[in-house]
Amino acid sequence: MKLRDRNVVVTGASTGIGRATALLLARKGAKVWAAARDDKRLDDLAAEQANIIPVHADLTVESDRAALVAACSHVDVLVNNAGIGWHGLVEDMSMDKVRELFELNVFALIELTQGVLPGMLQRRRGHIVNIGSVAGMVASPAETVYSATKFAVMGLTDGLRRELRGRGVQVTLIAPGPIKTEFLARQTTGGPAPEPGGLDYGLSAETVARAVVRALRRRLPGYRTISVPRVLGVGGRLGAAPGISWGTTLATRGRVRKALAEREGA
């Protein structure tokens, strides 16, 4: 797909992967509706690059989801990036928090997808990019419910891709590994943090943004599921899983011990 003059919606655009993706797509000539809850950061983003339209939206609220779709006359590309995490053991997690994770990470993604699909199908042109996680391939200890939401995103993406085959609409899953954003700081404290936040290792958010652009521009089987870094899965998800599983197994005991120690010290 040519990106110039395309209408793109990017969720979770005020920071991290969403911000980097919105900036890169706008620089490629797309008109980007950047959605997030943080008005100041959205305004700063729009001031940094032309072709970005800030849209205040709390995507855990159904009316905000509908308003976001309505704000764009038609959507050529939807990048479902908004998401939250939670660090801790399942036994310590409240059901309110479980519902919050699924509301944003899964239900909002589905509803936004439903909102843009009719127009895409009518025009027989469009692309939906879902930002998943390597944690949606192999569950990460002490982030089990977050992993469950990303497993859901992976399953939805795979099934939707098959439903839309031959109907003009493309579907891609991007599965990042460790990325330098404030995601971990947010999942620990529940609030924003200075960039790059609570993660001091991993690739840059721009690496994921470039993977999104590659997926949009290339209609090749290997660009339907992209792990970041790519080395984790040269052939996509099936190639990625063994390496991720090996690494996660090594980390399991340490993460659980840390979570138990944090709970006892609280």
Q: Which residues are catalytic?
A: 146
Residue whose tokens read 């859901």: 152
| Sign of the alpha-carbon dihedral angle for 46, 76, 78, 119 | positive
Q: Using the CB atoms, write b or e for 97-116: b if 16+ within 10 Å.
A: eeeebebbbbbbbebbbebb
Q: Which whole-number Å values give the CA distances from 217 to 70, 81, 210, 264, in the listed order?
A: 26, 18, 11, 50
Which tokens is 3 given?
């990106």
Nearest to 200 by CA among 186, 179, 215: 179
Cβ atoms 145, 91 nearer than 8 A: no
Residue 29: φ, ψ to 5°: 105, 0
